[in-house]
Amino acid sequence: NTRNLFAGTGTPTIPRILVVAYFRSGSTFLGDVLSQDPATFYHYEPLSVLHNDHTKPVHITPLCYKTVKNIFRCDFEHAPEYLKEAKSFIFPFERNMALWSRCKGDIDACFSPEFIASICNTSTMQVMKVTRLRLRHVLQLIKHNDDLYRSIKVIHLVRDPRGIWASRLRETWCTYEMGCKDIQTLCQEMRDDINMFLELREILNDRLIRVYYEDIALSPEAGTKHLLSRLGLNYTMHVSKFLRTHTLASESELGNSFSTKRNSRKTVFRWTYWLSYIEVVELQEACPDVFESLGYPIALSEASLRTQVEKNFIKRRKYNYIT
């Protein structure tokens, strides 16, 4: 049994939620929703510390696997490279409210492996959000770490590839980097995850969930409640407050691309105005299988791009938030 090959000592009774997503897919928003409880320990993009480059496909090294495994076990003593690099890129740590509110920005405390472990070990849940792992990497992770296999719940967050691409192109640096704006790379990443989803589902069963960003954005409260129910979590006042303050943002609050404040219903299909029809066709032709597998409607004309895409999506999905 390969799952027992590197069996660990982590406590399986503490839920570990892993969000696997794509850059500019709404993952920061979803990660924040899931980490609103003050007792939740949030690992925000841990691999960004080791690979802070969205422009190239990530080569998942043994160090990456080791880092994910160890920090999910609250074993920061055996993640020295992670903590060393994190000191010069503290943004991911600042998003961990359970940790940052206690160390209060004191670098010595915030990056002390003993201190971090003490906070992590007393948390009631762990959430990790990654855009640098694919589902095939998750499969390898749980095959070789029995404690993670027994405790992990995986969310595969998807978004319309046209929405992802449009959002990426609005990042100035992305327009100059082929790895970021390359349509084929995006299509292949999503295609690989779609193909791996069923295999991983056979192992994790209902602990693997696919979430559509559009469903949560169109109906934040109902979508979030449904997701939390599937995860066995409560819809708390912390989550409710976060949704009230982050899904009805004014136009002046929408400029920061790394902010999670959005007018979610207005934002979700804004890509239909950001992309030309020629660009839309280029993407649709690059990965028709991805659109078909995920149920995203194809725009058949320039006129239908802004008049029918949203209607057809809602009609086809029928607000079935989770699959």
- The reported pTM is 0.89
pLDDT band at 7; cut points 50, 70, 90: very low
Q: What is the pLDDT of residue 10?
A: 46
Q: Which of helix, strand or coil describes residue 257? A: coil
Instruction: Tell me if 41 sits within 8 A of 100, measured CB to CB.
Output: no
Domains of the chain (ranges plus CATH)? 2-317 (3.40.50.300)
* AA letter at 240: S
Q: What is the pLDDT of residue 263?
A: 59
Q: What is the pLDDT of residue 5?
A: 34
Among residues of the chain, what percentage have pLDDT more than 90? 68
Residue 221's contacts (CB-CB under 8 Å, 6 or more residues apart) are: 240, 243
Mean pLDDT value of segment 108-116:
93
- The structure tokens listed for 143 are 């095959």
Asked whether residue 82 carries a pLDDT value surpassing 80, the answer given is yes
Residue 233's contacts (CB-CB under 8 Å, 6 or more residues apart) are: 15, 34, 125
Asked whether residue 2 carries a pLDDT value surpassing 50, the answer given is no
- The structure tokens listed for 82 are 């992670």
Higher pLDDT: 48 or 114? It is: 114
Asked whether residue 273 carries a pLDDT value surpassing 90, the answer given is yes
How many other CB atoms are there within 10 angstroms of residue 76's CB atom?
20
pLDDT tens digits for range 118-167: 999 999 999 999 999 999 999 999 999 999 999 999 999 999 999 999 99
As a whole number of angstroms, the distance between CA 14 and CA 170 comes to: 39
As a whole number of angstroms, the distance between CA 271 and CA 123 comes to: 38
As a whole number of angstroms, the distance between CA 125 and CA 37 comes to: 9
pLDDT band at 102; cut points 50, 70, 90: very high
Among residues of the chain, what percentage have pLDDT more than 70? 85
Asked whether residue 305 carries a pLDDT value surpassing 60, the answer given is yes
Q: What is the pLDDT of residue 318?
A: 53
How many other CB atoms are there within 10 angstroms of residue 98's CB atom?
20
pLDDT band at 89; cut points 50, 70, 90: confident
Q: CA of 33: how far to CAs of 53, 114, 220, 268, 270, in Å?
A: 25, 27, 10, 17, 22
Asked whether residue 189 carries a pLDDT value surpassing 60, the answer given is yes
Q: What is the pLDDT of residue 53?
A: 59
Instruction: Name the phi and psi angles at 16, rounded to 5.
Output: -120, 115
Asked whether residue 259 carries a pLDDT value surpassing 70, the answer given is no
Q: Which of 76-85, 132-141, 229-238, 307-316 has the lowest mean pLDDT?
A: 307-316
As a whole number of angstroms, the distance between CA 142 and CA 146 comes to: 6
pLDDT tens digits for range 199-254: 999 999 999 999 999 999 999 999 999 999 999 999 999 999 999 998 865 444 44
Q: What is the pLDDT of residue 39?
A: 94
As a whole number of angstroms, the distance between CA 304 and CA 317 comes to: 18
Q: What is the pLDDT of residue 320?
A: 53
Mean pLDDT value of segment 17-28:
96
- Work out the mean pLDDT of the chain and round it to a whole number: 87
Q: Which of helix, strand or coil describes residue 132? A: coil
Residue 126's contacts (CB-CB under 8 Å, 6 or more residues apart) are: 14, 15, 16, 17, 40, 41, 42, 43, 72, 120
Asked whether residue 300 carries a pLDDT value surpassing 50, the answer given is yes
